[in-house]
Structures are given as C-alpha cells and as structure tokens.
Amino acid sequence: MIKELYRIFKHEVCLNVTQGAVDSVRIKNIVKSGARVYDGGYIGIAGTIGEPSDELVSAAEKNLAKRIEYKFEPEKNKVRKRDARKADYTDKEVVEFGEKLLAVMTEKHPQFVFSNKIKWIETNYSLKNDAGLDYEDTDAYYVVSIIYKHRDSVAVFDGGVSAMGREFDVEKIAATFDDELCAFEKPAELPEGEKVPVVVGFGEVGGKILEALNGKQLGHGASIFADKMGQKAFSDDFTLVTDLEQSVGDIFFDTEGSTLPDDKFDFIENGVIKCGYADKKTADTFGMQNTACAGGGYDDVPTLGAPNLAPKRSDKTIKELLHGQKAVYVGMMSGGDTTNEGEFASPVQLAYLVEDGRITGKLPEFGLSGNIFDIFGKDFVGVPKDEFSIGAQSVICNMKVSR
C-alpha cells in the first residue's frame, strides 16, 4: 500500500477595473488537498478544501472499498523542487502596480475607457508519497486583461489588450499596447490579394491541431492525424512543443507525477507529426509514449488532460519574417470553426494593418479561411521571436481573406 498527498495552494490578488480605475480588490488564499491510497491495482481518493490531515488519508484508504481500478505504479524515489518566481510582491505593491499601469494608459490614451481585470497569482503544487516521491513547483505571475472602449463608441467594448509575465514593468507593458490603441482611430484598407500574411494567436487557428493530437482520439482512429503519424504534414518551420522554460504558470509534473526529460517535448518537429499526448493509461492502452499529460482535479482519479502546446519560435522578428509585406494582425476573432477535413473559417471582428512590423491602422471587419494543412504547411511564414503583446504565442501565415 502506498499513500500519496497532492496539494495545491493559490494566492490571488484580483483588481477589478472600471472606468479606467481600480474600483475593488479581491484577495483569495485557497488550499486544496487530495489523498490517494494505492493497493492491489485499486485507488482510493479523498479530497478537502484546506490542508491535508491524517483523517483525509484514512478517508482515502476507506474509499479503496469502492474498487476503482488503477493498475499503474505511482512514482517512487524521485525528489525535485522548482521555483520559477522572479519577483515577490506584497498585495499592496500589486494594487500600486495596477493603479500606475492604468494611470499611464489613461494619460497616453485619454480617448479610451479601460475595464476588466488585473491579477497577480502565486501558486505552489506538491505531490508526495511514502515511496520516496517528493515534487514541489512554485510560480508567481501577473495577468493583465484589459478591455478598451472608445469614448465616442456606442459598443459595449471595442477591443482588448493583454499581457502575462513574472515581473512588473509598467512602462514596458503599457508600451506594448500603444501601437494598437493609437491605430484604432486610423482607418486602413486590407492588403491586396486573395491571400494575405496574417499575424494571429496560434490558439485561434490551431485548435484542431491540439484536438487531433489527443492520444485517445489517435488511438481510436478518430483524429485527422490518425493516418499521418510519423509523416511530414506541415512546413519545415513548424515545430509544436511543450517547453516549461518558455511557459508561465505551468508545472513540471502532471497529476500522476510523470515528467518530461529537460521539461520539454516536440509533438510536431519540422512539420513531422511525431506523437500524440498521453497519460499513463492512454499510453498503456494504445502503445504510445507517456508524455506527462495526466490532468484531473485534486480529488479525482488522474485522467488525460491537454498540455500547453506552443509553436517553437524562430530567431526572426515580425518585421524580418514579413520582408516588407503588409500584413493583418488579428485582435479579436470569434465564431469560427474547423471541419474534420481541416477547413478553417472565421469572421474577424477586430484587426489591424501591420507595416514594417508595426501596427499602423484599423481594418474593417472581414473573414479568414484556409485548410490547416496549408495554413501550417505551404502558407506558413513562421513564428516570430517578438510579439505585439507580452506573453502571446503568435504565428504568421498566409490566409484567404473574404472582404
């Protein structure tokens, strides 16, 4: 019998922003604890809000009677502690940061009203058992999510800007928003051509790829990648990875205690689909590699979850990748979908013209479309090393424009 404790601590300072000012502050400290007992191919689980206790472990042991099958050995004799924090701010300093950022943005752009949320989040995850496992991961980061509305606009809101990182830098964060906010009042025309270069968040157009890499779907033959594993399906310049060093808010172990060598893994490498994502059960069922993708709640049996996948960045900027071409930057896009054949289409509610790597004007609404095997294949331009917002994960690709 092996006894295990999974603990999640989260401290969050949330600034509610209304009319360009902080109007309220919510501070949360939450501890969630789960106990697991493994014995004879079965697992007993119990959970609580608060710190773990002997009573919690006893409850998990009693739940072995429910005969929940779990044939996989828990991790043993592994010790690692990771601290990704770069700064330690008091709650007061977080509020001061939010107020200063809003003051700078309002001074620079008085024609806009700003609202929504600014958060500072501190996390600590631990997974320990009496077989020698002792994992702990600590992180702290900000999330700025600001909605803007022009004072002359009749809309509920006109757009949004965001940033995510581990250290406050008011001037740097505010500066990344400047081009977009300045361009809002400058009407521009779409670049000529049936297809135009588009700077867009990977998640906006790559959702089908994430879905298709699901190990269960691959194993059951339901993925559009089912007959393409090990084959080249995309551009040489497209590599899709999970890389802890490049991410914020992720941890080095999954809910089963599995980890990746060097905290990274290429699921698609230079256009070749290498592997789907899997937990222990998925890997065992379908003969796949365990890619440390177990998810589930603190009081759940571990199950397959989705990793944080991002395209590997090139060593070129947006300007360098575009080679003087005009491009489109997608600021807000919703209502789209991708078929099982990979055909993607979506209306674009807010977009900007990009010239010489800078946002210069606001574009009218239009539609974008393309097949994902083309978007990330022959029409793929690259992954810039810079971004229009801190913490974003953008790609540049040529897509069809419906005017």
**What are the domain boundaries of the chain?**
2-178, 195-205+313-402, 227-308
Give DSSP secondary structure letters for 374-401.
Answer: HHTTTTEEE--SS-SSTT--EEEEEEEE
So what CATH class is 2-178?
alpha beta
Neighbours of 399 (CB within 10 A): 23
The percentage of residues in the chain with a pLDDT greater than 70, rounded to a whole number, is 100
Asked whether the predicted pLDDT for residue 102 surpasses 90, the reply is: yes
- 165-212, pLDDT tens digit by residue? 999 999 999 999 999 999 999 999 999 999 999 999 999 999 999 999
- Summarised one tens digit per residue, pLDDT across range 200-246 is 999 999 999 999 999 999 999 999 999 999 999 999 999 999 999 99
d(CA 57, CA 173) in angstroms, rounded, equals 45
HSE, side-chain direction, 13 A CA sphere, residue 365: 9
Mean pLDDT on 12-37: 98
Mean of pLDDT values over 21-48: 98
Please check whether residue 275 is in contact with residue 289, taking contact to mean a CB–CB distance below 8 angstroms: yes
Per-residue pLDDT at 391: 87
Closest Cα partner for 31 from 4, 9, 6, 12?
9
Per-residue pLDDT of 111-162, as tens digits, reads 999 999 999 999 999 999 999 999 999 999 999 999 999 999 999 999 999 9
**Which of 305, 307, 294, 288 has the alpha carbon at shortest distance from 36?**
294
In this predicted structure, the answer to whether residue 403 has a pLDDT above a threshold of 90 is no
Alpha-helix runs per DSSP H in 207-303: 207-212, 215-219, 280-286
Integer angstrom CA distances of residue 65 from 43, 74, 281, 298: 9, 19, 21, 20
Specify the pLDDT at position 309: 96
